[in-house]
Amino acid sequence: MPPSHAGAPGNELNITTISVKPFTGQRPGTSGLRKKTREFMQPGYLDAFVQSVFNAMRGSASGDFSKSTLVVGGDGRYYNKEAIQKILHIAIGNEFGRVLVARGGILSTPAMSAVIRRRKAFGGLVLSASHNPGGIEADFGIKYNVSNGGPAPEDVTERIYEFTQFINHYYWFQCDDIDIDKTGKKTYAATKIEVFDPLADYTALMSELFDFDALRKFFRSGFRMVFDGMHGSTGPYAIHILEEQLGAPKGTVINGIPLEDFAGKHPDPNLVYAADLVHRMAAPDAPDLGAANDADGDRNMILGRNLFVSPGDSLAAIAEHAGNLIPGYRTGLSGIARSMPTSTAADRVAKALNIPIYETPTGWKYFGSLMDAGLCTVCGEESFGTGSNHIREKDGFWAVLCWLSILCGLRKSVAEVMTQHWARFGRSYFQRHDYEGLNLSVALQMNDEMRILLPGMAGKNFGPSRITKADDFTYTDPVDHTVTPNAGIRILLEDGSRVVFRLSGTGTQGATLRVYLERFAREYDQDSSKMVAQLAASIRQLLRLKERFNREDPDVIT
Ligand code: VG1
Ligand code: CO
């Protein structure tokens, strides 16, 4: 049903219907719609997608949005503010009852999730291409989150995609730009627009989960850390919580001011792109803990002095200690979930805690149904994503507070925490090798050819061991029984090693091949690169990367 235009008298006549043609390729990927910024800037492009989201969701709002609240915010990248203006005008055109927009337009992904949940919103639109670079020549993105605070699940994103294919008009409220730089409320036609403080709900939630008093004392006792905001959306949260609330010294947060182009860098917290931080943590006077978040604040990297904690290990350590050391988890964990390519370190912790472990396809949207059903408490991905059922997104800053709490509770260094963990559970040496900008059709054909070979691979030698099983991962959601096929090809070896590969669903150019390498060992003092070298060579050979793409080495190793 189209909007009735029967809102508050006065300015509803400013709502017009604007014709638009469908754009091809508006199918949301692993995490929303991500494209080159220029593609998003084409007249009508964002408008058509946003109206398609509303068209797809109108049924769930019982036919009209007059009682629904929409939340809007983004990571502050180039085109963020323009996109927010468009969304506000279209949301008023669609007669939403209320739109909550983050002051300055900046809202991290986890804060979006928290706001949707705490304010019982119908859904939210996050403007972000996450860790991808920003700028007119770089990337932009938009993601729709549903009422549980999580990314729209597959059936919803497919419905949105269907609407994008035959859209022919959208609704637009004609008025000047709406001021979003000051908090306050104002009504336009039938819609109340409320500009809110983006730090408030998230900070309140963190103070409920963590013992801020104990952390304050910890900083007072001389504990030192550095947090790298990478000029994304998390800087203001980190400054507010670490420096203002917990009393960490000024300067604890670096690169804390959001910038439209992230200072020209990749706002991606890994060893390659968070070079500033890595450098500081290797210095003789390095602080006790180093951490970074990506542009939209859902990814995190954790470093000790001269020590990188791989995301799979970080998830395992958080799961190991949360029940004892973090007030929000005192009643224990119900289960742990990890994406299939993520290392099996968390599986061993789940076994020790006697709770289930779930293995899902890549992408946070698959964790939502498990958390909603109470099946798991913490979850993580190898791509620097960690989180819990406090919201329905991964939460970079939450992971930092988890590590702070672990170090505070145990009075041990990051290295000691990890050594103790590996001594007890053994160690999964893990690396991900990314080959970027590959020819898409050659990559798709490679996958097709590999799928045919899979059944005959068991029993063959591979790297340091022998193949026990090779398959294309198919996931059946244990709650709603949705089946997700083709979620990544995996080769499992006799010695517990695993090699997984899949094509990225977030890239904006050609194909990105991700190869995930894991090797388990009891000894924990080996070099990760050396430990996975044989696996890496064998998979390169099996996939004939040189022949197909003329590539020898990956572009990025994390
Ligand atoms: C990548 C990661 C995946 C993550 C997704 C979104 O997807 O591998 O684990 O959930 O990015 O993260 P893909 O399809 O490119 O491998 V975020 O922080 O960019 O929203
Ligand atoms: Co992100």
Helices (H), 267-359: 275-282, 311-325, 345-353
pLDDT of residue 33: 95
Q: Is the CB of 31 under 6 A from ligand 1?
A: yes
Ligand 1 atom nearest residue 339's Cα: 9
Query: Which residues are CB-contacts of 270 (< 8 A; sequence separation ≥ 6)?
Result: 301, 384, 556, 558
Positive or negative torsion for Cα 276, 277, 283, 286: positive
pLDDT of residue 475: 96
Q: Is the CB of 255 under 6 A from ligand 1?
A: no
β-bridge mates for residue 188, sequence order: 191
Residues carrying an active site annotation: 130
Instruction: State which of 27, 31, 145 you would mutate to test the pocket of ligand 1, scoring each by most atoms of that ligand within 8 A of its C-beta.
Output: 31
Q: Is the CB of 385 under 6 A from ligand 1?
A: yes
Nearest-CA residue for ligand 1 atom 2 is 383
Element containing residue 512 per DSSP (H, E): strand 511-521
Ligand 1 centroid–CA 505 distance in Å is 7
Query: What predicted TM-score, i.e. pTM, was given to this entire model?
Result: 0.93
What 8-state DSSP symbol labels residue 299?
Answer: B
Ligand 2 centroid–CA 298 distance in Å is 5
pLDDT of residue 256: 96
Q: How many CA atoms lie within 13 A of 213 on its CB side?
A: 1
Residues in the chain, total: 558
% of the chain residues with pLDDT over 90? 91
Q: Identify which of 129, 104, 423 has the alpha carbon closest to the alpha carbon of residue 294.
A: 129
Q: Which ligand is nearest to the CA of 488?
A: 1
Ligand 1 centroid–CA 397 distance in Å is 17
Q: Which ligand is nearest to the CA of 31?
A: 1
Count Cβ neighbours within 10 Å for each residue of 524-543 and write b for 16 or more, e otherwise. Answer: eeeebeebbbbbbebbbebb
State the DSSP string of 351-376.
HHHT--EEEE-SSTHHHHHHHHTTS-
Nearest-CA residue for ligand 1 atom 17 is 130
Ligand 2 centroid–CA 14 distance in Å is 37
pLDDT digits 0-9 by tens, 3-35: 555 444 456 679 999 999 999 999 988 779 999
396-410 vs 200-209: helix crossing angle, rounded to 10:
30
CA-CA distance, 471 to 450, in Å (whole number)?
Answer: 10
Q: Identify which of 519, 511, 523 has the alpha carbon closest to the alpha carbon of residue 536.
A: 519
pLDDT digits 0-9 by tens, 512-530: 999 999 999 999 999 999 9
Ligand 1 centroid–CA 31 distance in Å is 7
Q: Is the CB of 398 under 6 A from ligand 1?
A: no
pLDDT digits 0-9 by tens, 447-462: 999 999 999 999 999 9
CA-CA distance, 371 to 148, in Å (whole number)?
Answer: 10
Q: Is the CB of 360 under 6 A from ligand 1?
A: no
Give the β-pairing of 475-476 and 483-484: antiparallel
Ligand 1 atom nearest residue 109's Cα: 20
Ligand 1 atom nearest residue 363's Cα: 10
Ligand 2 centroid–CA 190 distance in Å is 33
pLDDT digits 0-9 by tens, 91-141: 999 999 999 999 999 999 999 999 999 999 999 999 999 999 999 999 999
**Cα separations in angstroms, 133 against 141, 263, 549:** 11, 10, 25
Ligand 2 centroid–CA 452 distance in Å is 34
Ligand 2 centroid–CA 295 distance in Å is 6
Nearest-CA residue for ligand 1 atom 1 is 506
Q: Identify which of 158, 139, 196 has the alpha carbon closest to the alpha carbon of residue 53.
A: 158
Q: Is the CB of 55 under 6 A from ligand 1?
A: no
CA-CA distance, 484 to 147, in Å (whole number)?
Answer: 22
Instruction: State which of 77, 145, 359, 383 you would mutate to test the pocket of ligand 1, scoring each by most atoms of that ligand within 8 A of its C-beta.
Output: 383
pLDDT digits 0-9 by tens, 212-236: 999 999 999 999 999 999 999 999 9
Q: Is the CB of 311 under 6 A from ligand 1?
A: no
pLDDT of residue 9: 46
Q: How many CB atoms lie within 10 A of CB 550?
A: 8
Decide if 269 contacts 309 (C-beta within 8 A).
no
Ligand 1 atom nearest residue 514's Cα: 16
Q: Is the CB of 298 under 6 A from ligand 1?
A: yes
User: Measured between alpha carbons, how far apart are the two ends of the chain, in Å?
Assistant: 48
Strands, sheet with 69-74, edge to edge from the N-terminal-most edge strand: 33-36, 139-145, 123-127, 69-74, 98-106, 191-196, 184-188
Positive or negative torsion for Cα 100, 106, 109, 114: negative
pLDDT digits 0-9 by tens, 273-307: 998 899 999 999 999 999 999 999 999 999 999 89
pLDDT of residue 146: 96
Q: Is the pLDDT of residue 67 over 50?
A: yes
Q: Is the CB of 135 under 6 A from ligand 1?
A: no
Decide if 498 contacts 339 (C-beta within 8 A).
no
pLDDT digits 0-9 by tens, 235-256: 999 999 999 999 999 999 999 9
Q: How many CB atoms lie within 10 A of CB 62?
A: 10
Q: Identify which of 49, 76, 69 has the alpha carbon closest to the alpha carbon of residue 142.
A: 49
Query: Which residues are CB-contacts of 251 (< 8 A; sequence separation ≥ 6)?
Result: none
Positive or negative torsion for Cα 434, 436, 438, 441: positive
Instruction: State the pLDDT confidence band at 415, using cuts at 50, 70 and 90.
Output: very high
The vertex-293 CA angle with 289 and 297, nearest 5°, equals: 140
Decide if 407 contacts 210 (C-beta within 8 A).
no
β-bridge mates for residue 241, sequence order: none
Q: Is the CB of 549 under 6 A from ligand 1?
A: no
